[in-house]
Amino acid sequence: MNKILIVGYGSIGKRHVNNLLSIPNTEIIIYTKQNKLKFLNKKIKIYNKLNESLKEKPDIVFVTNETSKHIPIAIKLAKKKLDLFLEKPLSNSMINVKTLVSTAKKNNLITQIGCNFRFHPCLIKMKKIIDNGTIGKIIVAQVESGSYLPDWHPYEDYRSGYAARKDLGGGIVLTCIHEIDYLYWFFGDVKEVFSITGKFSDLEVTSDDMSSSILRFKNDIIAEVHLDYFQKPDFKSCKIKGTKGTLYWDSDHNEVKIYPTKNKKWKTIMKLNNFERNQTFIDEIKHFLKCVKTEKPTINDINQGVRTLEIALAMKKSSKIKKMVRV
């Protein structure tokens, strides 16, 4: 039986709870400041105090509260020797991050950062093609992710959500760190960044709502990354250019296409029909629980989460000082 503590019950916490309910032999404990939550499901227990929730003796925790509050509570739980699933991004600053990392290492914890794009079938396919050298030496990647923030959660005022609030760790670079994460997964570590990041639209947010950045990786691959909160309709894409061809994916078609330099013709090598985005969240949970059971490292452990956070913060710093920043 997996006894799982969920810290925070916002939109992502609710998604994880619903997905965990579909996994056999799982008992869920929710720690939240929200009152009047009721569940008919006997597998769920709710507490408004952390110490009370810990009396249930969970062995795994999902940290899904606001980004700015991740680290303090994660440190407390790491000291209790609980394996950690940490929602992305790891934090909104580097304060006490080293303490969390050292505590997790000391207690031999299994850790995972909740970047579900690593479980998107199209991106998995792209990584395999990159790794096997089909399109040759990679030269440049062009990545875009744009969506209209008020449409994310129509049931609530977008202005009060963490994504819109700088004080809670929101903002386009941190909230939409997926693109930074999967590029790191594709190409390895980043050497330096240059970015223009800030608030440019008329959205009522206190955080940055647009970022256009250049990332230079240690292997000299260049990535152009555009992120925004105001694009309609929603759109994500990734184009990767190599010496032997070009690889492309976008969210409209959910297919991976390749353009080999020799053939001079686009070819679809994967197409998803009836794709359900939620499956990526289910798959990341199953991966984490399997790693906990087998005591094997996850695909995206805390050390990788630290590195992608450092890259994101370097992008914000670059925009502030208007210079290239080494990471």
Looking at residue 1, what is its pLDDT?
Answer: 87
Q: What are the residue boundaries of the structural domains of the chain, listed by start?
A: 2-116, 124-276+302-326
197 beta partners: 211
**Fold match between 2-116 and 124-276+302-326?**
no
CB 224 within 8 A of CB 143: yes
Tens of pLDDT, residues 267-312: 999 999 999 999 999 999 999 999 999 999 999 999 999 999 999 9
Please check the confidence at residue 7 and state whether its pLDDT lies above 70: yes
Encode pLDDT of 117-127 as tens digits.
Answer: 999 999 999 99
| d(C-alpha 4, C-alpha 84), whole Å | 10
Confidence of residue 264 (pLDDT cuts 50, 70, 90): confident
pTM above 0.75, yes or no: yes
Average pLDDT over residues 152-161: 92
Q: If one looks up domain 124-276+302-326 in CATH, what number appears?
A: 3.30.360.10
- Which residue is it, tokens 């955080």? 207
Task: Provide the residue type at 5 as one letter.
Answer: L
Alpha helices, DSSP H, located in the chain: 11-20, 50-54, 70-79, 97-106, 121-131, 172-175, 178-187, 278-294, 302-321
At residue 83, the pLDDT reads: 98
Q: Kindly report, residue by residue over 204-262, the tens digit of the pLDDT.
A: 999 999 999 999 999 999 999 999 999 999 999 999 999 999 999 999 999 999 999 99
pLDDT at position 142, please? Answer: 98
User: In the β-sheet with 210-217, what is the strand arrangement from edge to edge?
Assistant: 267-271, 255-260, 245-250, 230-242, 138-148, 222-228, 210-217, 190-198, 325-326
| Assigned fold of 2-116 | Rossmann fold (3.40.50)
Q: Predicted confidence band at 40 (pLDDT cuts at 50, 70, 90)?
A: low
Which alpha helices (H) appear in 86-210, and where do they start and end? 97-106, 121-131, 172-175, 178-187
Is beta strand 210-217 parallel, antiparallel or unpaired with respect to 222-228?
Answer: antiparallel
Mean confidence (pLDDT) of the chain: 96
Portion of the chain with pLDDT greater than 90, in percent: 94
